[in-house]
Amino acid sequence: MKKAWLLIVIFSTVSCGDTVQSEDLEYLDGYWEISEVEMPDGQTREYKASTTVDYISLDGREGYRKKVQPSLSGTYTTSDDAVSLTITEKEGVFYINYQEAGNNWSERITILQPGTLEVVNEEQVVYRYKRYEPINIQ
C-alpha cells in the first residue's frame, strides 16, 4: 500500500511540473529560434541554424509576433509585418491565438520556461523553440 501511495505522489508531482502556469507567460516576451519540428507521424526535423528569429512582444495577454533577421553586429532587420496575438486559457491550458488579415489560428502552449518554448498547432504539429542568444562580433 505504501508503494502505491508513493507512486501516486511521484506521478502527481511529475505531471503537475509540466503544466504551464499563468506566471510563466512572461517568458514568452523576446526572441525565439526554432530548434525542431515534429510531425504528427513522429518524423522530426532539426534546425541547426536559422536566418530568421521570431520576436514575441506581450502586454498582458495581448501582443504580436514578427519575424526578424539578426545580424552579427547584434542588430535586427525587420519588416512592418506583425501578426496580432492574444493568450487565452481554457481548462488550465494556455493558447496563443493569432489573427492576421482574416486568417486565424491557435497553438497550444505545452512547455514554457525561460529558455524553452513548445507549442502544438491545430494539425498536431509540434514546434520547439529555444531562446535566441545573439552573436555579437565587434
> Which tens digit of pLDDT belongs to each residue from 122-136?
999 999 999 998 776
**What does the pLDDT average to over 13-38?**
85
Asked if residues 48 and 34 have their Cβ atoms less than 8 Å apart, the reply is: no
- Residue 64 pLDDT > 90, yes or no? yes
Average the pLDDT over each of 28-32, 37-41, 100-104, 111-115 and give the range with the smallest value: 100-104
User: What pLDDT shows up at residue 136?
Assistant: 64
- Among 50, 54, 44, which residue's Cα sits nearest to residue 126? 44
What is the model's pTM?
A: 0.82
Backbone angles phi, psi at 14, to 5 degrees: -65, -45
Domain 20-131 has CATH 3.40.50.2300: no
How far is residue 54's CA from residue 69's CA, in Å, rounded to a whole number? 9
The domain spans of the chain are: 20-131
pLDDT of 18 above 90: no
